[in-house]
Chains A and B, each alone.
Chain A
Amino acid sequence: MLASGLFTLLLMVVLWLIGYFSVDIKLAAPLSAPTDLPPSREYLLGTDSAGRQLLAVMIAGTPTTLQIGLIAGALGMFIGTILGFTSGYFGGVVDSIIRSAADVALTVPALAVLVVIASVINKTLSPEILALIIASLAWMWPTRTIRAQVLTMRERAYVEIARLSGLNNFEIIFKELVPNLLPYLAASFVGAVSSSVLAAIGLEALGLGPQSEPTLGMTIYWARYYNGLPRGMWWWWAPPVIIIIMLFISLFMIASGLDEIANPRARRTTA
């Protein structure tokens, strides 16, 4: 699974690289070509109603979408990891506070909140700010799951041996627990990235994304805004959808593959 996921992602990266070096991305800007043209030899993916060359838009937009997902995912994981370890390892009052905070935040309907926030600060929205907004609601799940993992590992015999060998709490966390959790953290990270990407695309498709940047989600938004569907302009909305699907499938397979590696390690039975 891991292999197929990585391969698909790699394939996409290679295709993107080819595109990046062969197409001028300035053509992704509006009015760089005649509007509403179906795919032809000159414009491989046609153009949209604002005169953007769609091939250029795809090449320019995909990394932006991915970038939002990566920043949000990384930030969410970072916060989640710190909180999860603290909560799981130290227990007590600290655990109760963090856990309650995460539980409350989880009950919040994320997309609704994101929509509200995004529509309030619509004017100055950039991909980075979008990423921050998404991250603010992406930390809870990693916190809970990492806390659960730490709880199971905290009472393990090798942790007790480490204590008897004189290690203090931080040394135990970093030297004994984190290495064993690396596959799990990696799988969680990929999961966080893909859910952040989904949230970003969702917001953009609703029109709440960065207006001036070409991203996959915004393309879908513009396609709807300019009635691309009833007009049969499949070259406008189909490419972003296909790219999104492939992206998700590859990320999902990577996460599943990493999870498979993580679990047998965590549940190794005695010989």
Chain B
Amino acid sequence: MVTVRTDAELLADIAAGDRTALRDLHDRHAPWVAARLRRRCADPDVAAEAVQDTFVAVWKAAARWDGRGEPAAWIWGIAIRRLIGVLRHRDRWVPVASVSHVSNDVMVAAEEQVLISIEHGGLATAMAGLSPELRAVIQATVLDGLTTREAGHLLGIPAGTVKTRAMRARAQLRGALA
């Protein structure tokens, strides 16, 4: 008899040290995480390394998942920070912020409330009107739920620039949506 475990059940089993649960979670989520990371990083090797780091981090941190929200959103929160970590590492920068800093409710709130509509149009059209630089900043700060500093590391620009671009982007979006 084969029962399919939910993501939440898999995370609970992973926290208890079940390798097969990690394998299932990996096979279920690694493909979309990998695709999403590849859109944020031109080097496929870096993206692949970040994917692997992500599931190693999940293995260690599964017990810290608080059981609220989407496991997928939590995994993505780890993945995007691991990508920044790998990028920093290759540039011989300081290691990344640890997994414990990932707050899934912040991410879910941002996505649920503001951006769920991006699936359907409206905001999507407005986003399409933004210049690539502004769109990248909105993508990193709002869609990926990164802090200004983390977004700066991912995009390779100073945090101050992220802030000013985010302000300009928001103003343009407001104009487009009004």
A and B held together in a complex: no
| Residues of B in contact with A (beta carbons under 8 Å apart) | none
